[in-house]
Every structure is written in structure tokens, then in C-alpha cells.
Structure 1
Amino acid sequence: MKLFNNLNDHTRFHARMRGDMMMARDSKKSLNYAEAWDYVNLIAANIQSKGIVKGDRVAILAKNSVDNLCVFLACARIGAVVVGLNYRLAAAEVEFIASNADVQMLFFDQEFDGLRGDYLRSRIGVCFDSDSSAAKLDSWLDSSATLNEVEINGDDILFQMYTSGTTGLPKGVLISHHNVLANTYQAPMATGKGGRVGEIGLVIAPTFHAVGLVGSLMGVIYGGSMIIHSDYDPVGMIETLANEHVSTVAVIPVMLQFSLAMVPNIKDYDFSELHTINYGASPISESLLQQCMDAFGCDFVQGYGQTESTMALTFLTADDHKKALTGRPELLRSCGRAVFGTEMRIVDNDGQELPLGEIGEIVAKGPQVMQGYWKNPEATAKTVVDGWLHTGDAGRMDEEGYIYIQDRVKDMIISGGENIYPAEIENHLMSHSQIQDVAVIGVPDQKWGEVPLAVIVSGGQPELSAEELTEFCRGKLAGYKIPRKVEYIAALPRNPTGKVLKKDIRTMMAEKYPPIA
């Protein structure tokens, strides 16, 4: 047997070595590693009994739970490829993904039954939590089913995760066992925050996205214990972190902001066992970081990556965050440095490497880079060129190797022939006390072609006029970068990983700012 060949080797090992230690628990179920291994094998045998073989696609349309995780591990056990379906999508979007993936079987929560279209209703269906038009998991399982062993190699596909579709139709990203194992080894080497046997992690991020899924698998790989929340609850998160001996959690900054707002007496809680809060999807402001450090008293780590890189390409470490608060605040605008075994470059439109400090597209090469897009060789060839993943993010690199994301390449604004990266403007605007959240987009302009529009969430603070905003930016941003217009909305639209959906904002603003005739 090859060392670290696949995910199953780790699950089997921990079941044998520390079978009585908790693997995962939610509000309904708790399993130790031995119980989980037996349960995974039982589910796997029953999936096989329905004719599912290695390489077939099995979808999960459900919130986080122990059962959800065990179904994933059962599919891994027999080589079936898991397709996590985002339950926040519309039914037509779910149907597109399911049919594109050739899903043969579906496990789902009853509350999402309405998202099953004709295609999914024609597949084998098993419901996690209640009787419906499909069998309920508990009654569906037949204890007499026999598991047939399947050879699983590191290059076999473990899961197929769909992009958010922000640049077109969603694409199925193929992630192998080796991709996941490599990234779960790279992360602790980069951060110094390795997984530990028995360490309790809180899982909140949805497992239909990489942060939640790979974070959960990291817990299994390192023999950790997981408390699984089905949803993000600002108060519930705080209470679990304080009362359940949690060591680590992965969030997005806005979740921290909400929790601080919802728990005004947070200083009364004891977070002495919490050592690391991991965050991603967006940078954290200096003021919010200081508030969180004061409240939680733990280390903070930021990760940057995308679906096509399994999870992480870079990390801004705990030491980097401490440096940011003691004289180097610019580091908080960085997403950190490349993880072990990963090369990163900044390139121009022709793929040529740019000098340090110049803005171009961020590209990366490493063992965590996807195997390609499902049934889409053209898109694969454009995205992975000679082994280099073209992220679609614009950024620069400094002399120490820190990456600074400027924006998505597609979100760049061209005003009067000048390239403007909205993230630079957003970072400055977020330092204003009357701005809770902000996104900057380009809108049509007769004279300049495009000009920046600031779309602001005030959070109950008095609204700033365009003139006040201009004055705040004067001397801090070049004149052509200063937003000429400002609009206020209640909340920025975001995808489940916290990324702002600028295409939705453009749609919202299209009527007021139509194309120039």
C-alpha cells in the first residue's frame, strides 16, 4: 500500500487506533471513530447495492450534519464521486448542475425537496431526516448489505464541486484524493497550526463549498473531533466556542462582525481553549481584527484560494496578523504567502512574469491544483496552462513574497484609459466609521467610459454624500480612483462563502446607470 494514498486510509487508521474518541457530533447524533467507520461501511454497502459503482456521481443536497459527512465518506470508500449541491440556489440551477454532473443518486434534507426537478426525481433518492417521496436514511439502510472492496488511487476523483457561476454557467471542478491530502498537509506547514488528535473543531461553513468540506476532511485526516452546526447562528457560534472546548473554527469576517454585534457581553465568555480563528473570502479590517483579538484572545489566520485549488494557495499567518497590529497594518490587505510546495507568479495577458510590485493575474502551480473541469476541456485548457492555474484574480507580489489581491480581473474598471482595481478603493472606504460594508463597481460614463460607483451599507450610521466621500478619499487615492457616485443598500449580496456578488450589484444598478447610447 502506498503511504497516504487516499482519504479512506486515514479514516480506517483512526478507527483502529483511537476508536473510542469522538469523530463528529451534531444536535442529533454523535459518533466515535469506530462507530463512524462501521456506519460509513454500512452506507457504502447500501449505495453499492443500488448499482452505484466507482466513478458514478452521488449528490448531496443538505445542511451540515454527521449523516452528511458520513455519506461523503461512504462515497469515498467505494470511489463514487460526491457532488455537493448548494441549497441556496434556485431549483433550475440545482437541476442544471445535477444533470451536467450525470448524478445517479441523491441524498437530501426534506426541506429542500422542492429543489428536486424532473432530473433529480428520476434518480435514486434518500432523505436524511424524514419520510417523503424518497426513503428515509435510517429505514433505507439494510444491515445485511455486503461491502465490496474497491481499489482507490490517489489520482481518483474524490469530489466534484461546482464554481459559483459568477463568470457564466457553473463548471464542475474535479478534485482528487491527492489534491485534498496535499492541501491538508500544506496548510499546517504554512501556518504552524497543524491538526491534532482529539482537538475539537467547530464546523459552520457549508460543506457544499471548499472551506466547509475540506475543513471537515482535515479534521478526519488528523484524527480531530468535530462539532457540526447546520447553520450559522451568531449567538450559537459564540456559545459553542466558549462552552464546548473548541480549539479552532473557520469563518468569514462578516460572521465575526455579526457575532460581536449580537453578543454585547462577549467579554463575559471564556475562550481560553480557542487557539485559532481561520477566515477567508475577504480581508479583515484593522479595527475588526483588534476587536476580535480583544474578545477571543486567540490567533487569527487568513487563507486564500479557490475551488480550483482544492482550498488554499496562501496563508496570512498568526505572526503576520500580530505584525499588522504592531507597525505593519498594510499586511492586512495581503492574503499572505504561498503554502509549501506551491509556486506563485504575477503574469501579464501573455502569461509573462511581471516584476515585483506590478499588477497582473495571479497564477499558481502545486499539488492542490484541480484535475480539470468536468466535460469541459476547453475551459480546462484556458485555466490550467502548463500546470499553472490562472486564478482570474488580479494582484501584485512584494519582495517578501506577500500577495496583495487587487480584484478579479473581470471586475477591473477602465476609466479614461486608466485601470482601476475596486479592492484598493474598498479597503480605504472600509476604514470610515460610517461605512459597515462596501463594494465598488464600474458604471457607464459619457466622458470617461466608466467611473467608480461606491455601493455602501451604512449599518444604521448617517449616510455620506458623494462630496463627503470624495473628501475622505482625497489625498489617499488618485483622483481618477475616487468614486464619483454613491448608492446605499441594506446589505451586499454574497455567495455562501462570503464573496460579494458584483454581478448582482451590477444588475441592481443597471436601470439607474444604463449603458451610454
Structure 2
Amino acid sequence: MNISSIISQNVSFYSRCKAIIASEDGRTYTWAELEKNINKLGNALLNFGVRRGEIVAVYLPNSPEVVLTYFAIARIGAIFLPINIHLKTNEISHILNNSRSHFLIGSSVEIKDRVINQRFLFPHLRKVITVGDYVDGCADFYSLMEAGSSELETYDCAEDEPCALVYTSGTTGKPKGAILSHGNILSIGAIDAELLHINDQDLLLTATPYCHIFFVQTIVAPFIKGAGIITMNRFSPEKSLEIISRYKVTHYCGVPTMYVYMLNRFNRNKYDLKSWRVAQTAGASMPAKYIRQIEEKFGVNICETYGTTETSSCITYNRIGHGKVGSVGRVARGIQIKVVDNTGREMPADKVGEILVKSPGMFLGYWEMPEATKAAFNDGWYRTGDLGIYDKDGYFYIVGRKNELIISGGYNIFPKEVEDVIHSHPKVAEAAVVGVENPELNEVPKAFVVMKPGEHMTEEELIHFCKGELADYKVPLYVEFIQELPKTSTGKILKALLQKKPVFNQVCSKI
């Protein structure tokens, strides 16, 4: 077994059909060309010193290069580690140092600024490959690939052999690496392809980052069916609509925020969306009013899904034409789900509890975190940490989370990571970060800050400081300075009280 075999299978049936279209520059890859380049890159990586079971980190925006790299790494039996291109140096260093990755493939500009210029922060890193302008001390991606042979034997992996290491924010604050196998991703990719009604004549577009578990739904799923994809390196509502119209896209996948902006920018006289059949959404709950607007204004079927990184994406989904507004649908075929109370007792319909899952997509564990892995399971069931209910028809509804995770525009933000950055400012005494409601992003981070005696700071000053240390989506949108944080008698901060406070403070737009 090897996930890259789906490319070879498509070459057998659709050799000259387009597998990838790059929206930025118009480059195209047929299935035959994609296979050839995967083999060349795989050989280049072997010549570069990458071996079976080694982790190769990939720090690139959405692009054909990410797809090439993913399947080339898999084909030689190595492990793909995606890193969000928006992450800054201290965030990257945690992931690279925790994984002890010796190899990094990344965008020249970001690699030079955030890695090479601070190389001392990456003691395990041995070799770097860059896409773009030449960077001193790094190998060039295309020069390396062109030197590789176009013939490569696919490594035969066991079903439970690691394929990807995807970092996800956990209850301890720092991102944890979820290990996903070839079997995990292939099994859930097949489910994703089924739920989206994909066939070999379809064309799928997404602007969600390929570093996200969405990759299984937006790349692996269409490839399993022989469908093509269009790469888009950064979300823009106008660009999304223009690409759908120009290339006759059949499927668009995104988080609710993306659809909200697309609704606001849509002009019926400017865009022809007749080819668009399915609008898939996940990452956060889609408000009911937007579901109706999307279906009516765009003339599409909407499919809302629910999943986690640890389950290789999909757990439940609304069947096209049979969904319930506000629900994340029924459980996917081959997956088991139950709702339990704090004692583990299974709850009946319409009673809230924590969602537990068994799935063929279940991750192998957290990278070198046996205690965290053990805590994530209850008698073989994965504890999602999400609170939900199901109705008499078996439709599930997410009503909240057991932890304090903030989901903003589909991104996961753990407050402690933001708090640690704010606490590092020399003027700050204490800080607490909570999620507050936002009509477009679902929720956004708000920081409550207590200054040291005699110190003063503006909202803009703190936000600017955070922008230098955090990815933009993690930076607090609101800042409120207070005299003291509300606490229990044991000193625990009462975040529930902070979330109830009205938002009147300075806003620093991220859009």
C-alpha cells in the first residue's frame, strides 16, 4: 500500500487529462506529467539523503509544489510534515525541534527571513530546499528535481505505516503532532470523495491551507476519483469567484468565513457559476442564514461536514439534498460515534455530551507524547473534546467545546499560546485570552491585559508586538486593559466572566 499509487492508477485511465491547474501562473500538469515529476522529486530526495521513515517538513503556500512534494515523500516511504506558511520563527522552531526533522522544503522568502537568518534556533535541521529565488546554503527545488530520474519504484508500505505528521493545537497549548498512516488517509479520502459526489470529470478548488487536514478532503479525495484540482495560494473572495467562473469549477471547499465574503462580493452579471454544483464547508459551524443564501445566490448544493485532524478529517456529513440546517449531518459509513456524559455513560437523543469516535482514519498517536495519546482515548474511543447532540433521525449538532479552543475563520487558536507571547512583553503583568463572537469569523481572540505598576501601553502597541511573534490569525483582534483579572480563591482565572464582557475596544482588522 502507498497513497501515491492513486497517481499511477489515474495515469492508467486519464494519462492526458489535467490533474493540476495553478491559478496564479496558468501552469498545468496532466496525470502523466504529475507522475513523472513525482518520480523525479522522489529520486532527488533519496539522493539528498532522505530515507524511509524520515520526516520531511514542507513550508509552502498552496501550490503544485506542495502536491508534488506530498506524493514524492509518500512514494519513498518518508513522512510529510506540513507547516502553515503564516507561522513565524518561534512557532516554526517548536514544530521542527519537536519533530526533529532534518529536512525542510520551503518558500525562499519565508525560509531566508524566518529560518536561515535564525538558524541557531533549529539545531536538528541539516538540509534545506527552497522554491523561488536562490538562498545561500540551500538547494534549489527545481534544479534538484530535474537531476532526478523519472523512474522510481513505489515503496510498499504497511497500512499502519506513517504517511503524515500533522500538528494540531492541543489542550496543553503547544501544537501536538498527530501521526496519520497511509491507511488512515486513503480510507477517509474515499469517504470524502463519496460525500462530495466527485467524479473523474470534476474540478475542485479550495483556498484552505494544504497544511490543514482539509488536504485529505480537497486533494486526496478528488485524486482518488481521478478529478482535477486548481491551486490557489491565498484566499480572495473575488479571485475565488473568478476562478470558478473561468475554469468551470464543479466543487468549492472552504470554511464559513470564506463563503460570507464571497456572498458579499458576488455580482451575478460578472460571474458565471453554472458549473458549480457542490459547496463544502467545515472548520466551524455555518450559520443557518448563510446556508440558505449560499444555496440561493450561487445555485449550489451545500455540504457541511465535521471532523478532526486526529480522525483524518470526516466524521459526519450532511448528505447532499438531505441535510438539516444547523446540523453537521449523520455519521459517515464505516465510522462509529457516540455522545457520553462526564462518567462515560452514553447519552440518548437530544442530550448534550462529549462526542467520541471510532474510525478507520484514527490517528496512530501524538508524536512522542504517550501520555497525551493515552488521555485522548476512552476504552478505544477517541475523545474529540467537542460537545454535541443528535436527534431522533441521527443528525448531529455541535453545541460547544470542552476546552477553551478558539476557532476563528476555520483556524484553531489556543489561548495559552497567545497569552505566552503577551506575557513575554516587559510591560505586562498578567494576561488572559478568550474567544468572542464575530459574525464573519465565528469567533476571534480578545486579550485582557494587566499592566505592571507604572507602565502604559496602547492597544496598537500590543497588537503590533503580537504580530511579530504570531501568525496573523492568532493575533488578538481586541485588547482590553483592566486592573485585575477575575479569579477563584485558588487563583484560577475566571474566563467565563471575561467572555461575557461587552466588546468596545480598539479593533485591528486582519482582512
TM-score, structure 2 length as denominator?
Answer: 0.77
In structure 2, do the counterparts of structure 1 residues 209 and 510 end up closer, same or farther at CA, with 3 Å as the change threshold?
A: farther
Does 1:128 find its partner at 2:131?
yes
Per the alignment, residue 303 of structure 1 pairs with: 305
Per the alignment, residue 143 of structure 1 pairs with: 147
For residue 112 of structure 1, report the CA deviation from its aligned partner: 1.2
Q: Is the 8 A contact 2:193 2:224 kept in 1?
A: no
Instruction: Determine the C-alpha separation between the residues in 1 that align with 2:260 and 2:483.
Output: 31
Instruction: Determine the C-alpha separation between the residues in 1 that align with 2:101 and 2:32.
Output: 30
Per the alignment, residue 511 of structure 1 pairs with: 482
For residue 399 of structure 1, report the CA deviation from its aligned partner: 1.6
For residue 36 of structure 1, report the CA deviation from its aligned partner: 0.6
For residue 212 of structure 1, report the CA deviation from its aligned partner: 3.3
Per the alignment, residue 452 of structure 2 pairs with: none
Q: Is the 8 A contact 2:205 2:218 kept in 1?
A: no
After superposition, give the CA deviation of every residue in 1:447-469 in whole Å (9 maximum; x if it has no partner): xxxxxx9945578xxxxxxxxxx
Does 1:156 find its partner at 2:158?
no
After superposition, give the CA deviation of every residue in 1:79-108 in whole Å (9 maximum; x if it has no partner): 110000112222111111011112121110
- For 1:18-33, what aligned pairs fall within 5 Å after superposition? 18-26=14-22, 27-28=24-25, 29-33=27-31
Per the alignment, residue 6 of structure 1 pairs with: 2
Per the alignment, residue 49 of structure 2 pairs with: 51
Instruction: Determine the C-alpha separation between the residues in 1 that align with 2:340 and 2:204.
Output: 37
For residue 234 of structure 1, report the CA deviation from its aligned partner: 1.1
Instruction: Determine the C-alpha separation between the residues in 2 that align with 1:141 and 1:351.
Output: 52
In structure 2, do the counterparts of structure 1 residues 456 and 76 end up closer, same or farther at CA, with 3 Å as the change threshold?
A: closer
Instruction: Determine the C-alpha separation between the residues in 2 that align with 1:513 and 1:280.
Output: 37
Per the alignment, residue 83 of structure 2 pairs with: 85
- For 1:170-249, what aligned pairs fall within 5 Å after superposition? 170-189=175-194, 191=195, 193-249=196-252
Q: Which amino acid aligns with 2:224?
A: I
Instruction: Determine the C-alpha separation between the residues in 1 that align with 2:21 and 2:244.
Output: 15
Per the alignment, residue 70 of structure 2 pairs with: 72
In structure 2, do the counterparts of structure 1 residues 504 and 396 end up closer, same or farther at CA, with 3 Å as the change threshold?
A: farther
Q: Which amino acid aligns with 1:292?
A: I
Single out whichever of 34-43 and 267-276 deviates more from structure 2. 267-276
- For 1:305-384, what aligned pairs fall within 5 Å after superposition? 305-321=307-323, 331-384=324-377
For residue 144 of structure 1, report the CA deviation from its aligned partner: 5.2
Q: Which has the higher contact order (CA 8 A, sep 6+)?
A: 2
In structure 2, do the counterparts of structure 1 residues 356 and 59 end up closer, same or farther at CA, with 3 Å as the change threshold?
A: same
Deviation beyond 6 Å, 4+ runs, structure 1:
none
In structure 2, do the counterparts of structure 1 residues 120 and 315 end up closer, same or farther at CA, with 3 Å as the change threshold?
A: farther
Q: Is the 8 A contact 1:234 1:255 kept in 2?
A: yes
For residue 390 of structure 1, report the CA deviation from its aligned partner: 0.4
In structure 2, do the counterparts of structure 1 residues 458 and 334 end up closer, same or farther at CA, with 3 Å as the change threshold?
A: closer
Q: Which amino acid aligns with 1:351?
A: G
For residue 253 of structure 1, report the CA deviation from its aligned partner: 1.3
Instruction: Determine the C-alpha separation between the residues in 2 that align with 1:229 and 1:386.
Output: 41
Instruction: Determine the C-alpha separation between the residues in 1 that align with 2:41 and 2:189.
Output: 25
Unaligned 5+ residue runs, structure 2?
A: 408-412, 416-433, 441-462, 467-472, 490-511
TM-score, structure 1 length as denominator?
Answer: 0.77
In structure 2, do the counterparts of structure 1 residues 130 and 228 end up closer, same or farther at CA, with 3 Å as the change threshold?
A: same
- For 1:488-507, what aligned pairs fall within 5 Å after superposition? none
Aligned positions, number: 428
Instruction: Determine the C-alpha separation between the residues in 1 that align with 2:482 and 2:94.
Output: 29
Instruction: Determine the C-alpha separation between the residues in 2 that align with 1:269 and 1:141.
Output: 38
Q: Is the 8 A contact 1:64 1:229 kept in 2?
A: yes
CA RMSD of aligned residues (A): 3.0
Per the alignment, residue 115 of structure 1 pairs with: 114
Q: Is the 8 A contact 1:260 1:266 kept in 2?
A: no
Q: Is the 8 A contact 2:20 2:230 kept in 1?
A: yes
For residue 222 of structure 1, report the CA deviation from its aligned partner: 1.4
Q: Is the 8 A contact 1:187 1:339 kept in 2?
A: no
- Aligned-pair identity in percent equals 24
